[in-house]
Structure 1
Amino acid sequence: MNTRSITTSTATASTSGKDNILRASTRAKITKPNLKSRPTTSKTTSRSSTTTPNPQHQPSPHLDPTLITKSLRRIASHPTLTPFRRQVYRTLLSVPPGRWTTYSALSAHLGSSGSSSSCARAIGNAMRDNPFAPDVPCHRVLATDRTIGGYRGAWGQGGEYAVEKTKLLVGEGVVFDERGRARGECFTEFVDLGEVYQV
């Protein structure tokens, strides 16, 4: 790759990054996220390579910056959370109201070194023991078949808290079919908001 093409792609990446920051800053009225600068070149080996910013690194414009900042502070200061659970909760904050995801999608994104089923179970345990609900929206995580799954330790449509979870989701705009399955597309554009917002 010659120098001219690197300069062109870097300029394009910088422009789109500024546009995303500008759009995000105009929506944030109270607290603006402090976006950490992301270099357009990264050193992965002894030589540097050009990278373009990934649009997945930008949080949804539908997220409330004040609530996100408050939640991130609570996650960071909680005395007993493991690093994995902190990452799960920071990433879960990127699922906007009116959207839903699954245990397996979140598990695949976080990419545990263990098996995918054990990571999905770890995600389920983190959701069950979420001390920040509903601000850290564990209610937006559904079973792979798009049904309610678990909530507060009870599992399934007939679970003790299934009605509460369904009400929260419907109140945010999620629609369910006659079989109790969420309509729409599973959210997979995860972002660890701890890497985007400084608290």
Structure 2
Amino acid sequence: MALILNIETATKNCSVSLAKNGEIIAIKEMNNGNYSHAEKLHPFIVEILEEANTSTDKIDAVAVSKGPGSYTGLRIGVSAAKGLAFSFDKPLISIETLTSLAHAIKIEDGLIVPMIDARRMEVYAAVYDSNYSKTREIQAQIIDENSFQDELSKGKVYFLGDGAAKCKTLITHKNAVFIQDKFPSAKEMASLSFTKYKKNDIEDVAYFEPFYLKDFIAIPEKKKLF
């Protein structure tokens, strides 16, 4: 039996789940349009452990969404996961955020393009087939009317995630399908982390860092005139 704590903080959805052999037994998440991870993550962890009538020392591994995504969100999630893994001597498992997001839908045919908002008209995106095999690696890309034309010419393409909404007015091909209200979640992480656990596909707790894709650029605070 494998009891795995899953942590997802790459976007505005603060999400934590506890899963046994890949099946969810407790989940807590909140997406209120703000980044509330600093306030909500640790209480959510405590709450789902209490709901499952267990404790941190009883889990078998800690899994965390590795990115890409919000710099601050990823730092909070990864720091919490590394702290728990180190403190209780548990394996640390990382899950690609876009892979997890792709699993939020199931299709019979076509392609899945999970997208995470990267500000302005830029997104982090990858392309998966109906079996969730990656057909194009993760990229940071500027969206315009020519984006994903090769994929769209071959059949249905399902766009989802908080980056997809702003693409709807530009990507107007008849094969484009936009799915709303799908975000990276610790729910989809459950089966993915269990698969990695069985393969002993784990990270070095001391050296693991989030996958930011782009360097973080701090924006200077504007000076007040008065």
TM-score with structure 1 setting the length:
0.31
Higher fraction of helix: 1
Decide which structure has greater strand share: 2
